Chains A and B, each alone.
Chain A
Amino acid sequence: MKFFGKHRTSIKPQCSLNNIKYKNGKVLIVLKFVYAEAYSAIFFNLHKRDTQVSLKFPVSVEAISEHSCFLKLEVSMTDYAESLLHGFWDANLLLENMGQESKVRIANHLTNSNEPQPFYIKGHDKNFVPYATMNGNLSFKSEDAAPILKTQTIVLEENGTLRLSGYLLVPWWNVQNNEDVQKRLILRFGEDERDIVMTDVLRTDMTTYYQQEDQAYEWTGFAVEFNFPNSTYGLPDGAPADLLLEYEYNHSSITLPITFPSSGVLNRTSTFQSFDGIQQLAIKKRMKTNGIVLLLTKEELHAEVDEIYSEGGQISIHGRIITINKGERISFEDTFIIVKNRTSKAEYSFKVKIDSFHFNYTFDLSSLVKNEDIFSEGLWDLFLQVDGVMYRLVTRLDGIKNKQNRISFPPYKLANKDGEIIVIKPYYTLKDELSIMTKPYIAAKSISKAEIHNSIFLIDGKLHVQIPNKDLPEISQGHIMIKGQFGKNYDIPVSWKLQKTENTKNEFHFTLSADLKAAGLLEERDVLLRDINFDLIYCEIDFEDGKAIFTMNVTPEKVVLTLEDRLKQNDKYKALLSKWGLLVYKLCFKFLPVNRKAVVFQSFYGKSYSDNPKALYEEMLAQHRDMKAVWVINNLKADIPGNPILVRPRSFKYYYYMAISTYFVNNGNFPDFFQKRKGMTFLQTWHGTPLKKLGFDVDPKALAYEENTSPALLKRIEKWDYLIGPNLYTAEILKRAYKYKKKMLNVGYPRNDIFYKENIRTKIIDIKKKLNIPLNKKVILYAPTWRDYEYQNGNQHRAYEFKFDLKTFKEKFGEEYILLLRLHYFDASRIRLHRSDDFIYNVSSYDDIGELYLISDLMITDYSSVMFDYANLNRPMIFFTYDLKRYGSQVRGFYFNFVGEAPGPFVTDQEQLFDAIEHIDRLQSEYQIKYDQFKDRFCHWEDGQASKRTIEAVFKNL
């Protein structure tokens, strides 16, 4: 009885190397053979690659089972050395069955991992070498015999002791007396070298291992122990040193570098206390020779923390100073512990007493935090300042690395001077340095829905609550603030219901509810829902010991409006509804006629009313085109002129219009269910001039290649009828990278028409009013790209880290400017801003970035294609590329020479950035030529008429 039958039909015979060794002039081979039929004769065959010479050897058979056996054979090197020691020989099995001969190549999966001893062929001074070919088959070659140095053990202890052992074998040395071999271990640095004392090791096992007749190899062994805690062996500080082994016998000598063993792991560094202060030994590798290099470095002064406690609102540090000269020259009179904020660089110092090299310091968190800004949210690095020099506090001498993932300290929860609850705990960096980390008590994790039911406003989702969180009350009061257009602010008292989930230690389910009637906001319900994502929602929960403050990002698709939305809250119904939705699509597609006037518009998957589709739509409205416009959009309360039909993605209405419309305008692709009927037209507007390689331009070796050239993607591209080229550069890239063959509209970007309009001033004032920006101030737009590396490694709940200090920014430029922040929405939901700030405006969810360009006088960006659109405005740009080094490889993969052609200065830190803003006028004229060239290349088709040209080409019948 069998469940899934597998049939033993047509099994190809397979043969693989099972064992190979060399003994007394013979190569002994064991093969494993798996077969289906019987053979009348089997031979081992060696076939020379160039001359086609073949040698045949008999084998003996040892059965394993019905269909497999071991084959044993020997190749006598005394007989065949002359031929076999030249050229390459492939190993096969020759099979004879009923007069038919067949050949099976022998596989070799063995010798790469289980390397046999070198087959040294005496009298020829050559090694006969079995190896695995690229295809994993057994072949043989020969090499000149060479001395062999093998390091078998290498141990670097945490206390700085280094032990090495192994052997050096010269196959042709016929040593009679082991003492006749002179051995030296040499430590070589620069021009200098030192002899190191070694232990002689007798290796009887080597004689057995090499299996050479009348040869003994006991003399090969060596072992050495470096006791770095007690001696530097003359190694100068910071000078790399090679390790060489020299054996001499009978007037000939061999010197070889000691190399890394082929397997096994090794502790590569050790920080230890020596007779001469703290030293670090690092073991490095010479790439060419695989040789071991030792690097010994000394620390003038080392501030080691032995213990750090976080108990009862106090963080106490117990440490010691280790110096070379035992403090003879150093004065410990003015020694301080320095606490320094990693971002703002704000510093606090605390005098500390050094008592016979030891120090203790206790931070009383409540009293510090109540009065000052120390230990406010963020990372605070700890230093010891001795004699005016700062030394980082570290814990390294215990040899335990990667403490960040191994040691966790109890956090302490308290309210700061503003009554906000924060959590403070000690923290180890990746280099085992000591810092103190402060986090807000609560962060929003995810939102599952928002709705207004009768007069009750509800938001449901998950929170990330720091430990300690055992005794949180189930119901708490608080309030939320929703910012609306034109400076409206809805301050709504709410009640919070919190419930711990079982998923993680930190996760809580929350429901916030507010009675809009009681708050007098019932009339405003529609505006409230429309503006729910205008900015982040400011949230406050009042607890006994203070208030938890955080923000949440409620995107429009989470807003429950229709019965359909409500049903979709239930997973079961959701699955069912999406099935039915597709069914509706198929039925309408098949049975309903096409509506000649219907135009479906979509931008960024329905996330916003924006970009090229918006520009085209508004131009069509202005031209009074006879159309039935349908916008695919998450926010059903969005303000869109012309009263179009709004449909949410994947709703029944959406499927209906996807099936019966004639025109489709999108800046990306529709989902794969979308098919075209006869007469349907898809205008692909695309969404920007590319920086990173696309489609078939991606390096075939890169991981992203498959995704960029997938058949599914190519199918989506086949559906495009028209494609807009914003400039020649992009048009050519898109055609090539996507193998696009249909109509290319070389017209410029409709979305950029706005910059060339006549009424630009009134438009600017309108937008500024909508955003509640004072009209008398200039505007800086900060629009960095999203970096996945900053988001990963558990940073999802950590506050977004600005690479410049917002407070300093405000102090410097607040009088003249306001700052707009345009971040990826992952980052946007992580920013922590104070409630009533009249300097920083979060515009991350603002529908149309084009309108933001229009109102800003200066843009700070980095590796983002926003530069191509912004250039239309002739306004200055600064490239704040603080991670250019890290991003370098990606930048080099860009389509154009970003570093060479960018139309503005590159700055890499806060100081340079502020300097550039201060002198922006001068920089602008400095970069004018570059700017003009950039515009010539990327904005040459833009003249404010792109929408008109597109509409003329595509919508002739409307």
Chain B
Amino acid sequence: MKIYFLVFDIFGMGGTVRTVLNVTNYLAQSGYDIEIISVFRYRESPFFEIDPRIKIQVLHDVVNRKTDNIGFKSTIVKKLSKMKSRLIHPDDEAYDFFSLLTDMKMFNAIKEITSGILVTTRPSFNIFASKYRNKGVYIIGQEHLNFAIYPERMKNSILKHYKNLDYLATLTNDDTEDYKRLLEANSKKVKVKKITNSIPKLQGVTSSLESKTIIAAGRLAPQKGFDLLIEAFKIVHPKFPDWKLRIYGYGREKNNLQAMIEDNKLYNHAILMGPTQHIETELLNASIYALSSRFEGFGMVIVEAMQCGVPVVSFDCPKGPSEIISNNVDGILVEDGNVEEFAKALMELMGNPEKRKQFGKKAVENVKQYEIENIGKIWRDTIDEISQRSGL
């Protein structure tokens, strides 16, 4: 049975691409036939490694497209690419990237799929696939966020369309319960199943936790709360003047964060490091991971930090941190949004190397459950379930 993944841009960076590739690479290695349909391509070569057995179909190639054509066809294509998308939900964060042109390409692509499983990786794709898939194609929709976070219009669409999915894959226990309550009562079809994100198995190298470095990583966007982190670091800094804060990532908030760093005279100590392809390497030189997000779908990076033996200080924001971190055992959970408490928690670990090491050790143990061998098993079970259902 062939398995398709519909993805925004598999060549890009970021958590979604990383987790999708963890799964697809694992499944390809385990002998499944995988094809990734990447709606966009904004980079020449992929940011993360893709298994050569995986077929990649790019619908709208922004890198290699020809722009100098002035034929009739390309005039139409140009016009279409400027018209608003009608198949993507308008509340999709990236709505402006889509157009009538990408609608047509996506529509064609989904109509080409006549059997097998289609995994869709964002709410607007889930809705799109539930509406237009061919008969005989099974849809596993992935849901990265809690229902409560969405605006009303998106909530309505989710309620209306998710019940036509075959599976809804959720990341946390809370989400699983919420979506079960919302969907399974009204539909006999959709099964809500928790399939969390996975991490690749590493060689087991962990950080020595001796460097006076706090690390954070993520898109420089309001959601990630790096402004709160800088606030907290400002409180911490006078007491631990030789510690540095490194924030990895790239995004629209860069100038604002930089201004905040300058205004608070923290430019020697809080540093926007830019994006990195190898967060593991950077984690090995850090002693504390700080997760200051306002909300998360899961908090993949928490797991990655813990896998490198770096204890995490995190806001207890929805959803994920409280499910991954055992408070005061392998990390510290802080009341959501409480900057002073966050600073205190950081200082507790900064001032106590023994505690860091003890937490770090526990953290490594804790996150073994997220290794791809374990999560991959859930995927394989789900695929097998579908195969049985379809009688293949």
Query: Which residues on A are within 8 Å of B, measured CB to CB?
Result: 1-4, 16, 18-19, 30, 32, 64-66, 68, 70, 109-110, 112-114, 152-153, 155, 157-159, 161, 163, 165, 264-267, 306-309, 311, 398-400, 405-410, 505
Q: Which of A4, A68, A400 contacts B2 (CB 8 A)?
A: A68
Q: List 7 A-B pairs, minimum CB-CB distance, nearest first.
A: A109-B52, A307-B268, A3-B104, A153-B203, A64-B33, A65-B2, A158-B285
Cross-interface CB contact of B267 among A114, A306, A409, cutoff 8 Å: A409
**Cα distance A409–B259 in the bound complex, in angstroms:** 10
Contacts known (A32-B53, A399-B211); A4 close to B116, Cβ less than 8 A: no
Residues on the A chain within 8 Å of B277, using CB = 265
Give the CA-CA distance A66 to B268 in the complex, in Å. Answer: 62
Q: Are A3 and B258 in contact (CB under 8 A)?
A: no
Contact yes or no, B33 A157, CB < 8 A: no
Query: Are B246 and A400 in contact, with the CB atoms below 8 A?
Result: yes
- In the complex, are the beta carbons of B205 and A66 less than 8 A apart? no
Which of B52, B115, B284, B285 is packed against the most chain A CB atoms within 10 Å? B52
Any A CB within 8 A of the CB of B333: no
Instruction: Check if B258 sits within 8 Å of A408, measured CB to CB.
Output: yes
* 14 interchain pairs, CB-CB under 8 A: A3-B104, A3-B107, A18-B31, A19-B29, A109-B53, A112-B52, A157-B285, A159-B211, A163-B205, A165-B203, A309-B268, A407-B267, A407-B271, A410-B267
Contacts of A165 in B (CB 8 A): 203, 205
Question: A155 contacts which chain B residues (CB < 8 A)?
Answer: 205, 281, 284
Closest residue to A266 on the B side, CB-wise?
A: B281
Q: Closest residue to B112 on the A side, CB-wise?
A: A6
A30 close to B31 (CB less than 8 A)? yes
Q: Which residue of B lies closest to A318 (CB)?
A: B268
Please state if A65 and B203 are interface contacts (CB–CB under 8 Å).
no
Chain B residues 245 to 295 lying within 8 A of chain A, measured CB to CB, are 246, 255, 258, 262, 265, 267-269, 271-274, 277-278, 281, 284-285
Q: Which positions 320-341 of chain B face chain A at CB distance < 8 Å?
A: none
User: Contact check: which of B53, B116, B258 meets A110 at CB < 8 Å?
Assistant: B53
Would you call B265 and A311 a contact (CB within 8 A)? yes
The B17-47 residues at the A interface (CB cut-off 8 A) are 29, 31, 33
Q: Which residues of B contact A306 (CB under 8 A)?
A: 242, 268
CA of A307 to CA of B270 in the docked complex: distance in angstroms? Answer: 12
- The answer for the CA separation of A700 and B256 in the assembled complex, in Å, is 48
**What is the chain B residue whose CB lies nearest that of A263?**
B49
CB contacts (< 8 Å) of B144 on chain A: these are none
Of chain B, the residue at the smallest CB distance from A161 is B208
Q: Are A1 and B111 in contact (CB under 8 A)?
A: yes
Given A406-B271, A406-B272, A406-B273, A2:B33 Cβ within 8 A? no
Closest to B284 in A: A155
Known: A2-B111, A32-B53, A157-B285. A405 touches B2 (CB 8 A): no
**Nearest CB in chain A: distance from B132 CB, A:** 10
Contact B284 A157 (CB under 8 A): yes
Contacts of A405 in B (CB 8 A): 274
Given contacts A157-B285, A265-B281, contact A505 B208 (CB under 8 A): no
CA distance A161 to B268 in the complex (A): 24
Chain B residue with Cβ nearest A270:
B285
In the bound complex, do residue A408 and residue B267 qualify as a contact, i.e. CB atoms below 8 Å apart?
yes
Chain A residues near B242 (CB, 8 Å)? 306
Asked whether B274 lies within 8 Å of A114 as measured between CB atoms, the reply is no
Interface contact B268-A18, CB-CB below 8 Å:
no
Find out whether the CB atom of B284 lies under 8 angstroms from the CB atom of A114: no
A70 touches B211 (CB 8 A): no
Tell me whether A398 and B244 are in contact (CB under 8 A): yes
Out of B115, B246, B285, name the residue touching A66 (CB < 8 Å): B115
**Minimum distance in angstroms from B284 CB to a CB of chain A:** 6
Using known A-B contacts A2-B108, A64-B2, A157-B208, determine if residue A505 contacts B255 with beta carbons closer than 8 Å: yes
- Bound form: Cα–Cα A97–B1 in Å: 25
Nearest CB in chain A to that of B272: its residue: A406
Q: By the criterion CB–CB under 8 Å, are B271 and A157 in contact?
A: no
Most interface-central of B49, B111, B205, B274 (chain A CB within 10 A): B205
Beta-carbon nearest neighbor of A1 in chain B? B111
Chain A residues contacting B31 (CB-CB under 8 Å) are 18-19, 30, 70
**How far in angstroms is the closest Cβ of chain B from A653?**
27
CB distance from A148 to the nearest CB of B (A): 17
- Identify 18 new A-B residue pairs, CB closer than 8 A, beyond the known A68-B2, A157-B284, A306-B268: A3-B104, A3-B108, A64-B2, A65-B114, A70-B33, A110-B52, A113-B49, A113-B52, A157-B211, A165-B205, A267-B281, A307-B268, A311-B265, A399-B211, A399-B213, A405-B274, A406-B273, A408-B262
How far apart sit A68 and B114, CA to CA, in the bound complex (Å)?
A: 13
Which residues does chain B contribute within 8 Å of A264, judged by CB atoms? Answer: 278
Q: Does B365 contact A (CB under 8 A)?
A: no
Which residues from chain A contact B268 at a C-beta distance below 8 Å? 306-309, 407
B258 adjacent to A65 (CB under 8 Å): no
Q: How many angstroms between the C-alpha atoms of A4 and B29 in the bound complex?
A: 34
The 8 A CB mask of B83-104 against A (1 = contact, 0 = none) is 0000000000000000000001
User: How far is B272's CA from A400's CA once the two chains are assembled, in angstroms?
Assistant: 11
Q: Does B210 contact A (CB under 8 A)?
A: yes
CA distance A19 to B208 in the complex (A): 38
Q: Is the CB of A400 within 8 A of B267?
A: no
Contact of B278 among A16, A65, A158, A265 (CB under 8 A): A265
| Chain B residues in 8 Å Cβ range of A4 | 104, 108
- Measured CA separation A706–B102 after assembly (Å): 33
Residue in B114, B203, B211, B265 whose beta carbon sits within 8 Å of that of A158 in the complex: B211
Q: Nearest residue in A to B33 (C-beta to C-beta)? A: A64
A505 to B2, CA, bound (A): 50
* A616 CB to nearest B CB, Å: 37
CB of B371 within 8 Å of the partner chain: no
Check: B178 CB closer than 8 A to any chain A CB: no
CA distance A313 to B111 in the complex (A): 66
Contact across chains for B52 and A114 when beta carbons are under 8 A apart: yes
CB nearest neighbor in A for B255? A505
In the complex formed, the residue of B with least CB distance to A108 is B52
- Nearest B residue (CB) for A132: B52
Does B373 belong to the interface (CB within 8 Å)?
no
B61 part of interface (Cβ distance < 8 Å): no
A407 contacts across to B, CB distance below 8 A: 267-268, 271
Contacting pair B51 A114 (CB below 8 A): yes
A789 to B128, CA, bound (A): 49
Set of chain B residues within 8 Å of A112, measured between Cβ atoms: 52
In the complex, how many angstroms separate the beta carbon of B40 from the nearest chain A beta carbon?
Answer: 18
A406 proximity list for chain B (CB < 8 A)? 271-274
Q: How far is the CA of A165 from the CA of B203 in the complex (A)?
A: 9
As a 0/1 sequence over residues 217 to 246 of chain B, the CB contacts with chain A under 8 angstroms (1 = contact) are: 000000000000000000000000010101
> Which chain A positions have C-beta within 8 A of B49?
113
The CA-CA distance from A742 to B336 in the complex, in Å, is 81
For residues 25 through 83 of chain B, which have their beta carbon under 8 Å from a beta carbon of chain A?
Answer: 29, 31, 33, 49, 51-53
CA A26 – CA B203 in complex, angstroms?
29
CB B365 to nearest CB in A, in angstroms, measures: 19
Bound: A112/B51 CA distance, A: 11
